[in-house]
Amino acid sequence: MHCLRFGGYAVEFPPSEETFATENKFPFHYTEDESDEESDGEAFDPLWEVPDQLVMPKTKKLHAIIEATANKVQGHPQLESMLKIKLGDNKKFRF
């Protein structure tokens, strides 16, 4: 029966040569927390009154990320959950 299914090929189980995962020779290293200090360095200055209890983003770039994310999530409620799962480890999305 084995010969009919596999056409006479010799099949060894488990394989005679074991393969092991090798160590990554070029691992990616994330830089330290740069979410507060972006490369543009421009401080965010809101054009409106902000209550004291709210935490403001420190840079214009971080404000743009928050604003774009909020606009997308407003139209797609399930996107908020998906972003929390996928980008939970990303330091730029911890707001």
How many Cβ atoms sit within 10 Å of the Cβ of residue 65?
Answer: 17
Q: Return the domain boundaries, the chain.
A: 38-95
What was the pLDDT predicted at 38? 46
pLDDT of residue 36: 46
Q: How many Å apart are CA 79 and CA 95, to the nearest integer?
A: 15
Question: What is the identity of the amino acid at 64?
Answer: A
Q: What is the pLDDT along the chain (95 residues), one digit of tens a residue?
A: 555 566 666 666 655 666 666 676 666 665 655 544 445 578 888 888 888 888 888 888 888 888 888 888 888 878 888 888 887 787 777 76
Measured in degrees and rounded to the nearest 5, phi and psi for residue 59 equal -125, 160
DSSP 1-37: -HHHHHTT----SS-SS---PPPPSS---PPS--SSS
